[in-house]
Amino acid sequence: MSRLHQYVGGEHLRQDAPDKVTGEAIYVGDMAFPGMLWGRFKSSPIASGRILRIDTARARALPGVRAVLTGEELDHQLGLYMADKRILARGVVRYQGDPVAAVAAESEAMASEACNLIEVEYEPLPAVLDVEQAIEPGAPLVHPDLGSYRYMKGVFHPQPGSNVAHHQKIRRGDLEKGFAEAHRVFETSFWNPAVPHVPLETHVVIARALSGDRVDLWTAAQSPFTVRHLMAAGFGIPHNNIRVRIPYVGGGFGGKAGINLEPLATMLSKATGGRPVKIVATREEEFNTLPSRQGLKSRIKAGVTREGKLTALEVRYLWDAGAHADYGVNIGRAAATAGAGPYFVPAVKVDSLVVYTNKVFGTAFRGFGHLEVLWGIERNLDMMAHALGIDPFEMRQRNFLTPGEPTITGEIFTANHGRPDLCLKTVADAIGWSERPREDHPPKRPAPIGGKRRGYGIASLHKSPAMPVYTSCSCILKFNEDASVNLLISGVDYGQGTYTALAGIAAQELSIPVEKVHVTWDCDTATQPYDWQTVASRFAVMGGNAVIAAARDCLDQLKAVAAQVLHAPVEDLVCENEEVYVRKDPGARLHYRQLVIGYSFPNGSSIGGPVIGRGRYIAQGLTHLDPETGQGRNALNWTYGAHGVVIEVDTETGDIDVLKIASCMDAGKVLHLAAARTQVEGGVIQGLGSALIEGFKFDESGRLLNPSFVDFKIPTAKDLPREASQHFIETPQLDGPHGARGIGEHPMIAIPSAIGNAIYDALGIQIHELPLNAERVFLALKHAQPNDAARP
């Protein structure tokens, strides 16, 4: 008999969709409060300089201006992992876009006008824009005071007196021996530019600074409790004094993790005696001032046997953190642990340096450094395969981690970790890898210019959530009179579909229709239970476990009361289809409705009371990484996956037409099929953006050249692959809810690598830089021609 109310793996509708298709969904930008003022800030036009003078007199004199602030008035040093950021620049500016002064005024126009009237005089200082130059001795220091900053000790290792905010080391095995045993050693390097997240909703916040050091915030942020915690730490006030509310959020992708404009809005509010202050970042500010994905330079040295087995790997990752590395340090740490790919490597040395430069700073971005790292690793693997005459598919199969082998941080891979091999095989089959044309693919010499050429590419990926060892999550389920429930949890669903999946888990556990589970979308730290952060694809796993625990708690409460009413032992009771009945006597049953707010006997006497379930989950068995060797257990779980692509390159223009993309993730268990599929669809296109289109460009003085949609392009509906397929493998995660793992970030991670590999298959040229836009591809092919320069 098929059971009722089975939702895990199903396709029930998203609860937020009706609000969003009607325009009824309220985002922070849609909110207004009586007496609300508009905040705006003025930012630095230069990448590095000393602030000689800020004259705010004309701004203050403007009618309607209620407050003007500069860095001199703000003493707070902010940060989660590395407190290297001020609310407004003080003394020096560190990037073009660095906010130097701010205004609160009665209207947005007045606030803008006031910002224009603020005069700032700078003495330009030498800017350091390149990571390699930044680590040279004698390079200008972006943070001369690095040694005095607060940071998370034991986890990060800043090097005061340099531009290195964190140095993550991973050491395992005998490197010398590994290289000595190699049949060949390959050395190469790769580069990724910084890429912004581009949520359609820019950062926006409303703050009220209330009496007694209390703060009310409404913000478009990913993580209510982290906002609260960072505000508490930054301002030195109790957590409970801060109330953070997060309504619908218009996309985050990591860019709304941590805090951004919240402290500034708060200080502006405070300066106006507590009037609500709203700041909405313009799209230009979103690019210029708010954080993006870090750039990366990778240098890889790899030893392989004649058969293509890796013997040793030595990698240096230089992360271009930009002017602040609060989050960047954690990316440099986490991505390093995945920095060899999903392979067994006997000897490894990874040095991952998070380096300050005078550019807009980096933060978490869907994939958390893994797209960047795998751009090098997965491209290099293909290069070695071709050099050795081994099929790239085969080369990977020979090197994948197999049960019993250690990862580079010493975690033992088990059969329950997932199936990188099957993911790769799935995508290879989906694109017809084994039947691909071999004749002249890849060509021995760079393909001649003329006509179109096809190429096939594959790449593997893996990622674990990057989070502190103590990361936890909690959930409350409260029943209503009609036996519907409210699900309270604090992992903001800004579109990923997590809440929809969690509603399904709750409904299935409670055996009620999913329509009766109402996830409370607006998050409020005053009423919702604690959660760490909505990042790292960890939420489905940890939130799912918390929901299951809360549901079971509810069932226990229902049964306890039912046992008294039905005169049956609790162990004999079954909860099914909104009813509790006695297993041996199914006629003895009670509807949940009779129990959820308390049961009344016919004579009126009542027992029980409102049923409120509580569930929690904490990451277990995680350890800090050893500072010298990087050995330890930092992965809650690993999600493996792969991408396969078929492309057609126009050799005369460099245009790439993506004919097919197949993606496969080992999801453990697909909690919600439609949510999973659409997450992959969206992630793949975002990955294509990184692969083909997106990247910040700076001029030699450090000015951002493409800070608007005119020149920063993202994929449109015309820029899609002709065919995209999504596949899932389900190797249950032992401690995952129903065996599930996170898949939120993974769909974009290896897209650039697969495309880069396909370009080689098509053209016989290796490109080491992203994005693979038409210009880069064409010029690379042109300059690889034997008779280059013969053309115009």
Binding site for ligand FES (CB under 6 A): 200, 251, 495
- Is the Cβ of residue 42 or residue 324 nearer to another protein in the bound state? 42
Q: Are 669 and 732 in contact (CB under 8 A)?
A: yes
- Using rule CB under 8 A, residue 251 touches another protein: yes
- Using rule CB under 8 A, residue 597 touches another protein: no
Q: Are 78 and 258 in contact (CB under 8 A)?
A: no
- The amino acid sitting at 36 is M
User: Under 8 Å CB-to-CB from 53, ≥6 apart: which residues?
Assistant: 119, 120, 121
Angstrom distance (rounded) from CA 746 to CA 683: 7
Tell which residue, 244, 739, 675, has the closest CA to residue 492: 244
| Span 252-291, contacts to another protein by CB under 8 A | 252-253, 282-283
Question: Token digits for 408?
Answer: 């580079």
Choose which of 711, 722, 734, 788 interacts with another protein (CB under 8 A): 711
State which residue has the least CB distance to ligand FES. Answer: 200
Cβ-based burial of 547 (10 A; exposed 0-12, middle 13-18, buried ≥19): buried
Q: Which stretch binds another protein (CB under 8 A): 36-44, 368-376, 716-724, 751-759?
A: 716-724
Whole-number minimum distance, CB 507 to another protein, in Å? 18
| From the list another protein, ligand FES, none, partner contacted by residue 678 (C-beta under 5 to 8 A by kind) | another protein
- Using rule CB under 8 A, residue 717 touches another protein: yes
Whole-number minimum distance, CB 654 to ligand FES, in Å? 29
Q: Which stretch binds another protein (CB under 8 A): 225-233, 426-434, 462-470, 707-715?
A: 707-715
- Is the Cβ of residue 197 or residue 349 nearer to ligand FES in the bound state? 197
Q: Which stretch binds another protein (CB under 8 A): 12-20, 343-351, 552-560, 613-621?
A: 12-20
75 to 114: interface string for another protein, x by CB under 8 A: ----------------------------------x-----
Q: Could you report how far apart the first and last alpha carbons of the chain are, in Å?
A: 74
| From the list ligand FES, another protein, none, partner contacted by residue 41 (C-beta under 5 to 8 A by kind) | none
- Using rule CB under 8 A, residue 200 touches another protein: yes
- Is the Cβ of residue 308 or residue 495 nearer to ligand FES in the bound state? 495
Assign 3-class secondary structure to 302-344. EEECCCCCEEEEEEEEEEEEECCCCCHHHHHHHHHHCCCCCEC
Angstrom distance (rounded) from CA 86 to CA 104: 19
763 to 792: interface string for another protein, x by CB under 8 A: ----------xxx--xx--x--------xx
User: For strand 347-356 and strand 310-322, is the pairing parallel, antiparallel, or unpaired?
Assistant: parallel
Choose which of 653, 722, 734, 788 interacts with another protein (CB under 8 A): 653
Tell which residue, 694, 658, 681, has the closest CA to residue 744: 681
Whole-number minimum distance, CB 495 to ligand FES, in Å? 5
- The amino acid sitting at 50 is R
- Using rule CB under 8 A, residue 496 touches another protein: yes
Whole-number minimum distance, CB 249 to another protein, in Å? 7
Q: Are 726 and 670 in contact (CB under 8 A)?
A: no
Q: Which stretch binds another protein (CB under 8 A): 307-315, 404-412, 466-474, 709-717?
A: 709-717
Question: Token digits for 315?
Answer: 């990698």
Choose which of 346, 457, 613, 683 interacts with another protein (CB under 8 A): 683
- Is the Cβ of residue 495 or residue 702 nearer to ligand FES in the bound state? 495
**Taken in order 258, 261, 264, 270, is the CA torsion positive or negative?**
negative
DSSP letters, 166-180, are EEEEEEES-HHHHHH
Q: Are 103 and 59 in contact (CB under 8 A)?
A: yes
| From the list another protein, ligand FES, none, partner contacted by residue 774 (C-beta under 5 to 8 A by kind) | another protein
| From the list ligand FES, another protein, none, partner contacted by residue 390 (C-beta under 5 to 8 A by kind) | none
Phi/psi-derived region of residue 760, left when phi > 0, alpha when psi is between -120 and 50, beta in every other case: alpha
